[in-house]
């Protein structure tokens, strides 16, 4: 029986592929679990429309991420921290602190997307990377000043 996979199935194929499977396996497992449907012209068209819509959605998300990356690269944020002698911070600057500073600037970025190469433990100017999309990242300048 020829079937059209709706989801990735290990050792069978990936979503969107047309594969041959035995009648029992196809009907009793793949179709029952809604992992596949029987190949019909309507099903093929429906899957193609879903694929095109998904590609368009991913393209829009990438464009938005690239636009935000350009905006981040042209801006900087200032974070005030308590510091002792020799401009050493009490503790270190965290990604949550940077995310909060970005929130005050009107940008909502998850702290997990902010990558600090090494701990920030002194006052100064630092550049951190903000991962916005698997294919787009921005550089943000962070000013750490005394509170």
Q: What is the pLDDT of residues 13-29, one digit of tens each?
A: 998 889 999 999 999 99
Say which residue the tokens 């396996």 belong to.
25
Q: What is the pTM of this model?
A: 0.70
141, 87: one domain? yes
Q: What is the domain-level CATH number for residue 83?
A: 3.10.430.100
Retrieve residue 31's tokens: 């179709």
**Average pLDDT for 4-21:** 92
Domain boundary among 17, 36, 65: 65
pLDDT tops 90 at residue 116: yes
60, 106: one domain? no
13, 51: one domain? yes
In this prediction, residue 3 has a pLDDT band, given cuts at 50, 70 and 90, of very high
- Domain range for 98: 68-146
Instruction: Return d(Cα 140, Cα 116) in angstroms, integer.
Output: 11
pLDDT tens, residue by residue, 25-62: 999 999 999 999 999 999 889 888 988 999 999 999 99
Instruction: Return d(Cα 50, Cα 89) in angstroms, integer.
Output: 52
* Structural domains of the chain, count: 2
Q: What is the domain-level CATH number for residue 32?
A: 3.40.5.10
Share of the chain above pLDDT 70, in %: 100
56, 84: one domain? no
Helix (H, G, I), strand (E, B) or coil at 84: coil
90, 128: one domain? yes
119, 87: one domain? yes
Check residue 48 and give its pLDDT: 87
Instruction: Return d(Cα 139, Cα 69) in angstroms, integer.
Output: 7
């Amino acid at each position: 029986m020829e079937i059209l996979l709706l989801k990735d199935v290990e050792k069978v194929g990936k979503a969107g592929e047309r594969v041959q499977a035995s009648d029992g396996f196809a009907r009793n497992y793949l179709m029952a679990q809604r992992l596949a449907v029987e190949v019909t012209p309507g099903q093929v068209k429906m899957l193609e429309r879903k694929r095109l819509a998904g590609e368009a959605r991913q393209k829009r998300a990438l464009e938005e991420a690239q636009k935000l990356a350009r905006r981040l690269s042209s801006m900087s944020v200032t974070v005030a921290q308590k510091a002792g002698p020799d401009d050493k911070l009490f503790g270190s600057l965290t990604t949550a602190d940077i995310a909060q500073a970005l929130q005050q600037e009107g940008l909502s970025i998850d702290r997990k997307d902010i990558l600090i190469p090494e701990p920030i433990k002194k006052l100064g100017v630092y550049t951190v990377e903000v991962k916005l999309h698997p294919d787009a990242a921005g550089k943000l300048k962070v000013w750490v000043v005394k509170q």
